[in-house]
Chain A
Amino acid sequence: MISKDLVAASARPLILSILAQGESYGYEIIQRIKQLSNGVMQWKDGMLYPVLHRLQEQGLIESEWRVAQSGRKRKYYRIKQKGRKELAAEKKQWMQVHSTLLKIWEMKPCTS
């Protein structure tokens, strides 16, 4: 299980990366993260929303209430150009941390 601090720190790049693949809503984003991390990244579901709102406040993403196919209203989030730039910068930083750790541990990138 990944520690709480690390989960919190990775929330931003995770959300931006998922939204970079296409618009989505809160519940779907959480399911995607659970699925991609094989359940290792455990979020308390509600915690996603304050992060989304902060990203929106910073102008990285935008949102819109729309009626879904099920007939219920849902708030969809979409990444903005500024968000894509931010994601690129975050990606670079995460890769730098990743490669530094790998060098220290003298390991090849983990494939499993």
Chain B
Amino acid sequence: MHKLEFFIERWRDFKNAQEVYCNDDINELESHLRNEIETLDGCPLDDEEKVKIAVHRLGDGDALSKEFAKVNQGKIWKKRLFWMLSGHILVSAIGVLLSMLAALFSLFNVTDHLSLKFINQDLFVSGEMALVLIAVSIFMFLVYRQKVKMSGFSRFFLGLHPLFLGLMLVPLVLWQLFGQQLLYIVMTRSFSPEQFGVLAMQSALWRGLWTILVAIFFMLCAVSVIRQRRTGQLIKN
């Protein structure tokens, strides 16, 4: 019987690797597969052959994924959005770490009081952000590990309309990547170094706030992914 579980698990891994199936679909197809395998019980077949026949009866894999892709279109885009944001966070994390290193390095090279104050603040903000981003990265890694096994995704997240999510998240990311920098170039042309310093600090604080918001969002996703994995395991028993 252990062998049968191994072959079914292998089939699940194969389906999980295809983004068109969500966790619930695979659970349902697995339930069907097990019914089909049961009907082959009396036949002189080994476990691998039984699984192969049952999978064959499910139908051509490509045609099936095409049909599921049509039904799950919204969910697929949400998944893509999730991984796009993950990439964005990872890049931000690396950026923050670098700026922290730069601030640390410049501490040894300044002598005047004002610059020292700014660098201290900068170090504080980037240090805080780095901590949050490292925590998020660990969560993302956990989500990724779950995906390899089960391809689960947050029920909460899936409940939202993809268009709404896109409208909400894409402008935020674009703003953070390009908008702020463009605004800076225009605004700071006539600024004195002190004014520029204050503005830079404020923008760093806002960036910190945004990072924390994204962090909370990702943690919610990760927690429900783990919960889904547990419900997936129930089917076997």
A71 to B31, alpha carbons, bound, how many Å?
12
A47 to B70, alpha carbons, bound, how many Å?
12
The residue from A25, A27, A44, A53 contacting B36, defined by CB atoms under 8 A apart: A27
Scoring B residues 17 to 46 as 1 if CB is less than 8 Å from chain A, else 0, what string do you get? 000000011011101101110000000000
Most chain A C-beta atoms within 10 Å of own C-beta, residue among B34, B35, B231, B235? B35
Q: Which residues of A contact B36 (CB under 8 A)?
A: 27, 45
The residue from B57, B67, B235 contacting A45, defined by CB atoms under 8 A apart: B57
Contact (A46, B235) CB under 8 Å given A27-B32, A72-B31, A73-B31: no
A27 to B64, alpha carbons, bound, how many Å?
16
In angstroms, how far is the closest chain B Cβ from the Cβ of A78?
15
Chain A interface residue count, Cβ-Cβ cutoff 8 angstroms: 18
Is A91 positioned at the interface, with any CB of B under 8 Å from its CB? Answer: no
Scoring A residues 34 to 70 as 1 if CB is less than 8 Å from chain B, else 0, what string do you get? 0000000000111101100110010000000100000
Contact B71 A54 (CB under 8 A): yes
Is A98 positioned at the interface, with any CB of B under 8 Å from its CB? Answer: no
Q: Which residues of B contact A53 (CB under 8 A)?
A: 25, 71-72
A44 to B68, alpha carbons, bound, how many Å?
14
Number of A-B contacts (CB under 8 A): 60
Contact A72 B64 (CB under 8 A): no
Is A84 positioned at the interface, with any CB of B under 8 Å from its CB? Answer: no
Contact B70 A72 (CB under 8 A): no
Contact A49 B28 (CB under 8 A): yes
Q: Which residues of B contact A57 (CB under 8 A)?
A: 71
Q: Which residues of A contact B25 (CB under 8 A)?
A: 49, 53
A73 to B234, alpha carbons, bound, how many Å?
7
The residue from B27, B63, B234, B237 contacting A47, defined by CB atoms under 8 A apart: B63
Q: Which residues of B contact A74 (CB under 8 A)?
A: 31
Is B58 positioned at the interface, with any CB of A under 8 Å from its CB? Answer: yes
A45 to B68, alpha carbons, bound, how many Å?
13
Q: Tell me the A5-35 residues at the B interface (CB within 8 Å).
A: 25-27
In angstroms, how far is the closest chain B Cβ from the Cβ of A56?
9
Is B60 positioned at the interface, with any CB of A under 8 Å from its CB? Answer: yes
Using a CB–CB cutoff of 8 Å, the interface residues on chain B facing chain A are 24-25, 27-29, 31-32, 34-36, 57-60, 63-64, 67-68, 70-72, 231, 234-237
Using a CB–CB cutoff of 8 Å, the interface residues on chain A facing chain B are 25-27, 44-47, 49-50, 53-54, 57, 65, 71-75
